Amino acid sequence: MMKDRKIILGVTGSIAAYKAAVLLRSFIKKGAEVQVVMTPAAREFITPLTLSTLSSKPVISEFFTRRDGSWHSHVDLGLWADALLIAPATASTIGKMANGIADNMLVTTYLSCKAPVFVAPAMDLDMYAHPTTQQNLERLRSFGNRIIEPAEGELASHLIGKGRMEEPERIVGILEDFFASCDDLRKKKILITAGPTYEKIDPVRFIGNYSSGRMGFALAQACAGRGAEVELIAGPVSLQATHPLIRRTDVESAGEMFAAATAIFPKMDAAILCAAVADYRPETSWEGKIRRERDERLTLSLVRNEDIAATLGKMKRAGQVVVGFALETDSGIVHAKEKLKRKNLDLIVLNSLQDEGAGFRHDTNRVVIIDREEEMTPVPLKNKRDVASDIVAKLVTLLK
């Protein structure tokens, strides 16, 4: 899986920098092309000559190495790479990455990098456990970076605790697994709906819900990261989809989402229907703003919207897969299983508003994935990005 992969290996000023030589040698032996970028402090722990010899490439450490006007382009590096691995990553570098302090070539390259980023922390146990470090790591996770947790053991201070950079063999295995998953959905086309819908009452009011769209956008990123071409139909949200394989269509109402989904679905291999679509809309929409002074009471007559999941369940041909979502407040398993059968879905993802930290307006989620045989896969509370990866892994097994 490493053959011909392009990897940037970032090395920072830690005693664990000696492990970078083992990492580099392993990548090269597996057929990868590696460009080393060092911070100035890293050169105190391992020489550029060693890493340059192993990589057969000049090591990059400074923006400018000569006085002839030439310079190292962090932008070109970021576009060149299939992955950026920073190992070891010190508390200082992690803090700079988390807060955009681009005062060296490595952090500048990180900020320009389009490829997935892996961070392998290495520091003393108290530095690792400090709230500042943990907050910075969590912020990097929220950006989509993958943190390779340090191991426990004897540290440079001779104290025993968590802070040892993970062993090179394990890190190489993590990247191999990542590259293997990158091809899972290559050439597959996935439709994803995300966010809420707004059903217009008058020019300033609507019926909507609390969906932020985070789960749907995480699913889009996860599918694109595995090589799929993603058609993302998004309701009114402020999120951005940055992956080049994601093509976004913005809609507002359930009717607009229904029209877009039914038009796109026939060309897709699968659909993940994550949007919180309004079940009803006002029968009448006022052209002008409704005045408070007009009536003591205002009665809205609501009519049912078309069911996107049920419609696609009827439309799907052999080989197509449809994944639905069920947000419940009670008897969740019963309702989800019933919806799975009634709408002819292949998977349904149940989340409950009774679970703390799950559902709308959270960065985390806890779900149960249920298949057509009613086999249930519980996914514990974790970041929605990680939940998305678990859901997409299930989808991959069905598409295979």
Annotated catalytic residues are: 209
How many CB atoms sit inside 10 A of residue 88's CB?
Answer: 28
In DSSP notation, 81-125 reads -SEEEEEEE-HHHHHHHHHT---SHHHHHHHH--S-EEEEE---H
- Looking at the DSSP assignment, which residues form a beta bridge with residue 278? none
Strand-pair category, 151-154 with 160-164: antiparallel
Q: Where are the beta strands (DSSP E) in the chain?
A: 6-11, 33-38, 83-89, 117-121, 146-147, 151-154, 160-164, 189-194, 199-202, 205-207, 229-234, 246-250, 270-273, 280-282, 302-304, 321-328, 347-352, 364-371, 376-383
Q: Are 60 and 37 in contact (CB under 8 A)?
A: yes
Cα–Cα–Cα angle for 113, 172, 390, rounded to 5 degrees: 75
**Which two three-digit tokens encode residue 385?**
């990005």
Secondary structure percentages of the chain, helix, strand, coil, to 5: 35, 25, 40
Packing angle of the helix pair 168-182, 18-29 (nearest 10 deg): 40
Q: Are 16 and 164 in contact (CB under 8 A)?
A: yes
